[in-house]
Structure 1
Amino acid sequence: MKLLSFLIAVLLLSQGAIAQSELPLKKRSAFYAPETLSNIRDNLEKHPEGRQLKLDAVKKAAFWKELSDDELWDLMFGPKITRSWMVWSNGDCPACKKSVPMYTWIMEPQKLRWKTRCPHCKELFPKNDFAAFYQSGLDEQSVFDPAQADRKLLFNTEHPDPADPLHQFGVDDGEGYVADGKRWRFIGAYLVYGQFKQLVLGGINALGTAYVFTGDEDYARKAGILLDRVADLYPSFDYATQGLVYEQRNTQAYNGYVSIWHDTCEETHELALGYDQVFEGLRDNTGLVAFLSNKAKNHKLPNPKNTFAAVQQNIENGILRDPLKNTKKIHSNFPRAECTAATLQTVLGWPENRAEVEAFIDTFVQRATAVDGVTGEKGLSGYSSYTISGMANFLAQYSRAEPDFLARLIERQPSLKQTYRFHIDTFCLDRFYPDSGDCGGFGKPANKYVGVNFQKLTKPTLAPSMFSFFWQLYEATGDPAYVQVLHRENGRTLNGLPHDLFVANPNAVRKNVATVIAREGADVELGSINKEGWRIAILRSGTKENARALWLDYDSGGSHGHHDAMTIGLFAHGVNLLPEFGYPPVQFGGWKTEKAQWFLHTAAHNTVTVDGRNHPKSAGKTTLWADGKNFRAISASSPQVTGGRYERTVALVDVSASEFYVLDLFRVAGGTDHAKFVHGPNGKMVTDGLQLKPTDDYGNKTQMRNFQRDTNSPTGWTATWNVVDQHDLIPAGKSVSFRYTDLSSDIQAYTAEAWIPSYFRSFDEEIWNPALMIRRRGQDIKTSTFVSMMEGFERKPAIAKLTRLSLFDAEGVQVADASAAIEVALPKGFTDLIIAMDPELLKSGAVFKQPQWGVELSSELVWIRRDSKKRLVRASFANGNLLKIGNSIIEKAENTEFVEVDFTAAPLKRPTR
């Protein structure tokens, strides 16, 4: 926020110490100049859907057009009623007693003014005639003052008899209905969601769109009345001192105008664009000035509004300049506030201030794209995408007005080339995103690209077309993935492209898209990726219905991040086999409740806790990367987590086109209690090889229950989940299972159940999902090495048998447990050997042996496959220089990141360098 305030101060410096009444006024529309309006109206006549879109725009605006000017002017309210972000965040209905938390109350102000409806029993609240009470409290400037209102009007109109026990039931004076120590803020929430968002802001948007589509200046005049009245009152709103979130007031954090900061930022942006849309229809509208000057006189307003310049001054000072002076009110997830501030400046003075605005845009775009093209904010499919989606709309707005704007910006800020690739590269199986941080739901698919919001032209809108924006990205970068994505999001057809009334020749766009798809194919070809700035890696293999993806998130914390260092996820067979729980369940009273905090807890993720504590903020680094034909792996380290050792290696190994397995090796040092958690898919879990008995819960503020333990767990025990297809992802007639096999030494295995709401807004449902805890604890614990194999399968697992083998140094001394060798028996007699050496042992270039396979190695990670006749098929190593298998030797002069050899093509009998 400090950067935003500084940049805006620089932008405003040129205005000097000029009085508000003397500041320069807007001269022309920045984004809706006369020639642009003419093009849109011409295109509406040309587009096959144009006539219907115009009719829909007129129909949508009819409610406001049919209101009298006085009724329009009266829609905007003042700040003296406490506004609330929820009726009651964890509440119920006073009538039917069913749960109605968060945002589930229904408000339809065009049909029922000043009322909210229970979604269950359909009862309306408040029960008093609040409209009459509100009218009785208007002061001389037509602003509600509760001290002036007639409290005799505060009774249940369905039970007017004072002797009736329900006479005061459901009555709200603006500060809520109170009963039995509970408070329902019906009017406080209605002001935000009904009156302002739907009637005021919705009216400005609908009238502005109708004006742009039709050219009828009466729509512009009506929008002008709303804009001017908002401007009268907007500076007096301060959500920090006037509003509540989760029934609490926070004067430091809950900034904003009518709404809290994140919504205020977007609303202020919409108000600025609304003004710009109708400006050309207002400047010569004498009827507007006559009405507003009369209102100003009758209500003793400080601005007489007797000229259009005076009206301009009121709107521009109240809606555009006030937020630029009070940046904390529009502060939001970076760079949303910066986009709003730039838009405010552009609407005020474009093109005269072009140089200053573009310099401002350069500054925040550079920062907004600094982490692999994005901001670095967590919540991969949520907040990470919201910020760049908003920036896309912002940039597209300028591209529409200045056709070369985007290409010039990318030339100045080349990291922008990665921005909208980020969510292309992290999209898995055409269905999922890694739900790292505050985003998603348990096992829930995304099913679409989330970096922008693609909307087809099926309803009247002035929002920029993301189909056009992605075509412009292709033109600026030459990357066909942008065309493939826009084509995919259009249902893999050309119909309707680019869904943009601002494009003069849509047929040309369709033809060009067809050319690219014919040349490059319809699907984006994605391999394994490692976003080392964001610290997430995805290992990919397989295609179409056999595609699978294993991901590792190797940092912890950050904005909207969780305590989840080294957590992993796995998508395969069309489902999420190691799902994150999703967006925290804040519906139980906010972010600080134990249920919401549980989703952030380290133990709620597929990782290791140390001494029961949550991970501190940490930034891991990649230490190994292997991306071969059948073998892919990554290792990452984050010693800040424990102050000692905290590193994980995962490998994705192909068995066949449809079969695979995953190696997982986790080394931890520090503390005296190491607990690895495994949260599998929704479904029943069955263990094999364990003797389980009830035991104490893990505690540590986790939301888990029914712990059972095997105090003497053998190596090779398994747990298998049979997936319950809660999201209808598995084709009829198929079933999917997930198996975990533990190969760790000296551990105790636990089963338990983890609490998860089934969906973010299905508040009455919950899941207690089977989970595992693999634990080592005691004062003598120095280092733990957790070793396991995982696989997803349909009919039967690919792994027939797993055997942990011994490793020895050159002198024949057995290597400690931090290194592991695992033999994997596969179908048709094939066998794999995977060796993961402790990298600390390799620093001196030492050579180690695995005698059963005749292997000698000086490499951190090795994979070997033999056929049924023990002939070598493939082998690879990473972070090393030597692998000897019998008489076959792979040797490099220096330490090498990754080497892969296909023995079926050229069997090795001599060293290869």
Structure 2
Amino acid sequence: CTWTVLPEAATALATAYLYTGDQRYAYKAAVILDRIADVYPEMDLAPYTKMALYNSHGSSGKGKIKGCIWETGVGKTLATIYDMIYPGMADGAELVRFLSLKSREWKISNDKSSLSKIRENIEDNILREIILACQNGKIRGNEGMTQGAMATAAVVLDSEEETPLALDWLFEPGKRGEGGGHIPAVFLGEVDRDGVGNEAAPGYCFGWMSNFRQCAKVLEADSKHRDYDLHRDFPRLKRMYATPYLLTTLDTYTPRIGDTGKTADPGMVQVNLDVTLEAFIRFGDPYFAQLAYKLNGNTVEGLHADLFTKNPESVQQGIQEIVEAQGELELDSANLNGYGLTVMRTGKDDRKRAAWVYYGRTGGHGHKDRLNYGMYYQGMDILPDLGYPEYADGKWPKRAGWTKNTISHNTVTVNKRTQDINWIGHCRLHEASEGVAVVDIASPEIYPETREYRRTLAMVDISDDESYLVDFFRVDGGNDHILSFHAGEGEVTTQGLDLVAQEKGTYASPDIPFGEHFDGPPDGRYLASGFSYLYDVSRAKSPSPGWTMDWDLKDTWGTRLGDDPVHVKLHALSPSGETAIAHGDPPQNKL
């Protein structure tokens, strides 16, 4: 749309000016920025949200050009463009002639008759508007986004009186959407001891690191107004740089917990070579040297810092010395009990395997998935989480009904409803030794009616190439317990089950159609079973223990290592009143 293309065009022109010094690029960028300034103060999303427009406003209804969350990016972009072209606007007679002519033509109140008036238009109607919008909630994003927009606009404004006040606002008490920028409260109370934000989903939690990294750089560049240094004053920011890789497995995957990624797709969230190099240069921690070496293909060739770093090539020597002294980085099994994730790792090279159990937040961008688990083998995510829903809002029925519902995860549903929102479970045991790893995690508070809600999971190696999982799930309390289990895409065969196909309907009932919220509201308030999102149902009544299901998995994402077929086999050893198989769909716009 226009409001995406115009800032992109101005950014490209501003970048061209920085690389070439050709003022023609700066003038053209200034024309775009000046025209945006003519109308930006009047931009207000609220009237359109009242007409049911949804544009990333987090249910607040607020925003300017875009919803208040995405408007943080608009604000930072516009302020940065102005900073980039500021010197290139000097001696702008041609720029003044053009804009003053347009001002007369369109009867704009600012006649643009001098460069100072053009600057006044941009500074009053963009920079000061961004500052005001951060304070009144029209710009209000996830943690680090609002603070970054405010810091950028304030520093670019470069006002002796206004800039210090705007920067001070960043550290004043408040919370997201209210009061000041509350940076101390974020690092001291909302970032956990593992260095993870409080939004559950890695894609959102680690976004905090990226956002505050940019905010910190802006503050460091403006020491003349205030001596604010996030890296110096908040040690957890360093931890935030280190943590994203610690969640990964097979050097390929970050678990798709909560609203993160696509079902079974590869990718490590916020694991970035440039950021890792920056962290090594800043902190000198050997971990970052080893990680940079790994991310660069286990070599220092081609590694260098950015253009503004003194002696950028010396980075190679420092990293090489650390790797020679301490070896390459390999992750062992680990328990991040601040975030609520335990990861069991085993194997080497193409036969690396890993399993994880999540016991962290179930609110925000998290799912109702306490004690959910997954596994990776032969390069594939063989027990995948569903990941990001079609729409991450409170209106989309399928998000609450299925994608974030407890029934769609490899855990237990009690009394045909979702788990409660809860901060974290209790890891009672996490041990790993040669050939075996085990975790024991309890969370009875996730369902108030349960006295025990507890999973013990062990990964046992049977060779250098193969492992199996042993799963004990204990539930005491409630009247109805359903253990869900799904693997990746593939054909399923069973043994020991006398399955009878249900002719119509869903797992909820033969008479309840797909997607009908028969037991709750059809929106984000839904907290019930989610059963109507399971279709093509077959059931076996009271099967004898010992039955099996086998998934012949498709290599959906082209990640399989080797030519051997990949299977998942579930061997059930406990009695049950019923076993059923059905289809459930991943988010359909995330394929």
TM bucket, shorter chain: 0.7 to 0.9
Select which of 266, 275, 285 maps to 1:445: 266
Select which of 402, 414, 420 maps to 1:616: 420
The answer to whether structure 1 residue 378 and structure 2 residue 200 are counterparts is yes
Deviation, structure 1 residue 452? 5.4
User: CA contact under 8 A between 1:687 and 1:718: conserved in structure 2?
Assistant: yes
Q: Which amino acid aligns with 2:437?
A: R
User: CA contact under 8 A between 2:369 and 2:419: conserved in structure 1?
Assistant: yes
The answer to whether structure 1 residue 681 and structure 2 residue 488 are counterparts is yes
* Corresponding position of 1:721: 551
RMSD: 3.1
Q: Which stretches in structure 1 are left out of the alignment for 5+ residues? A: 1-192, 455-466, 763-913
The answer to whether structure 1 residue 655 and structure 2 residue 457 are counterparts is no
Write the distance in 1 (CA, Å) between the matches of 2:160 and 2:460: 57
* Corresponding position of 2:573: 743
Deviation, structure 1 residue 673? 1.1
Select which of 344, 359, 366 maps to 1:561: 366
Structure 1 stretch 612-621 or stretch 505-514: which is displaced more? 505-514
Select which of 535, 538, 541 maps to 1:708: 538
The answer to whether structure 1 residue 637 and structure 2 residue 442 are counterparts is yes
Relative to 1, partners in 2 of residues 1:622 and 1:662: Cα closer, same or farther, differing over 3 Å? same
Q: Give CA-to-partner distance per residue, 1:689-728, whole Å, 9 cap, x none.
A: 2222235843243311232222232222221111111111
The answer to whether structure 1 residue 256 and structure 2 residue 63 are counterparts is yes
Relative to 1, partners in 2 of residues 1:281 and 1:244: Cα closer, same or farther, differing over 3 Å? farther
User: CA contact under 8 A between 2:197 and 2:206: conserved in structure 1?
Assistant: no
Deviation, structure 1 residue 636? 1.8
Write the distance in 1 (CA, Å) between the matches of 2:14 and 2:50: 31
* Corresponding position of 1:360: 170
The answer to whether structure 1 residue 204 and structure 2 residue 26 are counterparts is no
Deviation, structure 1 residue 398? 5.4
Write the distance in 2 (CA, Å) between the matches of 1:427 and 1:400: 33
The answer to whether structure 1 residue 223 and structure 2 residue 29 are counterparts is yes
* Corresponding position of 1:82: none
User: CA contact under 8 A between 2:150 and 2:167: conserved in structure 1?
Assistant: no
Deviation, structure 1 residue 309? 2.9
* Corresponding position of 2:518: none
* Corresponding position of 1:519: 325
Deviation, structure 1 residue 660? 1.9
* Corresponding position of 1:418: 239
Q: Secondary structure at the match of 2:151?
A: helix
The answer to whether structure 1 residue 593 and structure 2 residue 412 are counterparts is no
Relative to 1, partners in 2 of residues 1:348 and 1:273: Cα closer, same or farther, differing over 3 Å? same
User: CA contact under 8 A between 2:378 and 2:562: conserved in structure 1?
Assistant: no
Q: Give CA-to-partner distance per residue, 1:234-282, whole Å, 9 cap, x none.
A: 1111123236998558895342222222322111101111101111222
* Corresponding position of 2:119: 312
Q: Which stretches in structure 2 are left out of the alignment for 5+ residues? A: 172-180, 509-528
Write the distance in 1 (CA, Å) between the matches of 2:110 and 2:128: 16
Write the distance in 2 (CA, Å) between the matches of 1:650 and 1:626: 11
Q: Which amino acid aligns with 2:232?
A: E
Normalised TM-score (structure 2): 0.84
Write the distance in 2 (CA, Å) between the matches of 1:646 and 1:662: 19
Write the distance in 1 (CA, Å) between the matches of 2:159 and 2:306: 23
User: CA contact under 8 A between 2:375 and 2:381: conserved in structure 1?
Assistant: yes
Write the distance in 1 (CA, Å) between the matches of 2:283 and 2:72: 31
Q: Secondary structure at the match of 1:571?
A: strand
User: CA contact under 8 A between 2:44 and 2:63: conserved in structure 1?
Assistant: yes
Write the distance in 2 (CA, Å) between the matches of 1:387 and 1:535: 18
Select which of 83, 86, 93 maps to 1:276: 83
* Corresponding position of 2:144: 335
* Corresponding position of 1:753: 583
* Corresponding position of 1:432: 253
Write the distance in 1 (CA, Å) between the matches of 2:354 and 2:439: 13
Deviation, structure 1 residue 646? 1.5
Q: Give CA-to-partner distance per residue, 1:41-73, whole Å, 9 cap, x none.
A: xxxxxxxxxxxxxxxxxxxxxxxxxxxxxxxxx
Write the distance in 1 (CA, Å) between the matches of 2:16 and 2:160: 25
Write the distance in 2 (CA, Å) between the matches of 1:246 and 1:753: 33
User: CA contact under 8 A between 1:579 and 1:680: conserved in structure 2?
Assistant: yes
Write the distance in 2 (CA, Å) between the matches of 1:646 and 1:297: 72
Write the distance in 1 (CA, Å) between the matches of 2:475 and 2:22: 70
Deviation, structure 1 residue 576? 1.3
Write the distance in 2 (CA, Å) between the matches of 1:396 and 1:251: 27
Write the distance in 1 (CA, Å) between the matches of 2:339 and 2:141: 20
Write the distance in 1 (CA, Å) between the matches of 2:578 and 2:458: 24
Q: Secondary structure at the match of 2:460?
A: strand
The answer to whether structure 1 residue 698 and structure 2 residue 502 are counterparts is no
Relative to 1, partners in 2 of residues 1:242 and 1:418: Cα closer, same or farther, differing over 3 Å? same
Relative to 1, partners in 2 of residues 1:479 and 1:709: Cα closer, same or farther, differing over 3 Å? same
Alignment of 1:50-65 (within 5 A): none
Aligned length: 547
Write the distance in 1 (CA, Å) between the matches of 2:196 and 2:367: 18
* Corresponding position of 1:875: none
Q: Secondary structure at the match of 2:485?
A: strand
Normalised TM-score (structure 1): 0.56
User: CA contact under 8 A between 1:563 and 1:614: conserved in structure 2?
Assistant: yes
Alignment of 1:436-585 (within 5 A): 436-446=257-267, 449-451=268-270, 467=274, 469-498=275-304, 500-522=306-328, 524-585=329-390
Write the distance in 2 (CA, Å) between the matches of 1:267 and 1:490: 32
Relative to 1, partners in 2 of residues 1:512 and 1:251: Cα closer, same or farther, differing over 3 Å? closer
Relative to 1, partners in 2 of residues 1:596 and 1:491: Cα closer, same or farther, differing over 3 Å? farther
Q: Give CA-to-partner distance per residue, 1:515-542, whole Å, 9 cap, x none.
A: 33433444x2212222222212212222
Relative to 1, partners in 2 of residues 1:527 and 1:453: Cα closer, same or farther, differing over 3 Å? closer
Write the distance in 1 (CA, Å) between the matches of 2:128 and 2:250: 47
Q: Secondary structure at the match of 1:640?
A: helix
Q: Which amino acid aligns with 2:151?
A: A
* Corresponding position of 1:232: 38
Deviation, structure 1 residue 486? 3.1
Q: Which amino acid aligns with 1:318?
A: N
* Corresponding position of 1:780: none
Write the distance in 1 (CA, Å) between the matches of 2:4 and 2:384: 35
Write the distance in 2 (CA, Å) between the matches of 1:658 and 1:726: 22
User: CA contact under 8 A between 1:720 and 1:739: conserved in structure 2?
Assistant: yes
Write the distance in 2 (CA, Å) between the matches of 1:470 and 1:671: 48
Write the distance in 2 (CA, Å) between the matches of 1:586 and 1:205: 29
Q: Secondary structure at the match of 2:40?
A: helix
Q: Secondary structure at the match of 2:569?
A: strand
* Corresponding position of 2:211: 390
Q: Which amino acid aligns with 1:598?
A: W
Q: Secondary structure at the match of 1:664?
A: strand
Write the distance in 2 (CA, Å) between the matches of 1:244 and 1:652: 52
Residue identity over aligned pairs, in percent, reads: 30
User: CA contact under 8 A between 1:435 and 1:582: conserved in structure 2?
Assistant: yes
Deviation, structure 1 residue 593? 2.7
Identify the structure with the greater strand proportion: 1
Q: Which amino acid aligns with 1:419?
A: M
* Corresponding position of 1:134: none
Q: Secondary structure at the match of 1:672?
A: coil
Write the distance in 2 (CA, Å) between the matches of 1:203 and 1:735: 48
Greater gyration radius: 1
User: CA contact under 8 A between 1:389 and 1:452: conserved in structure 2?
Assistant: no
Relative to 1, partners in 2 of residues 1:687 and 1:409: Cα closer, same or farther, differing over 3 Å? same
Q: Which amino acid aligns with 1:635?
A: D
Relative to 1, partners in 2 of residues 1:561 and 1:267: Cα closer, same or farther, differing over 3 Å? same
Relative to 1, partners in 2 of residues 1:516 and 1:547: Cα closer, same or farther, differing over 3 Å? same
Write the distance in 1 (CA, Å) between the matches of 2:228 and 2:133: 33
Q: Secondary structure at the match of 2:585?
A: strand
Q: Give CA-to-partner distance per residue, 1:772-826, whole Å, 9 cap, x none.
A: xxxxxxxxxxxxxxxxxxxxxxxxxxxxxxxxxxxxxxxxxxxxxxxxxxxxxxx
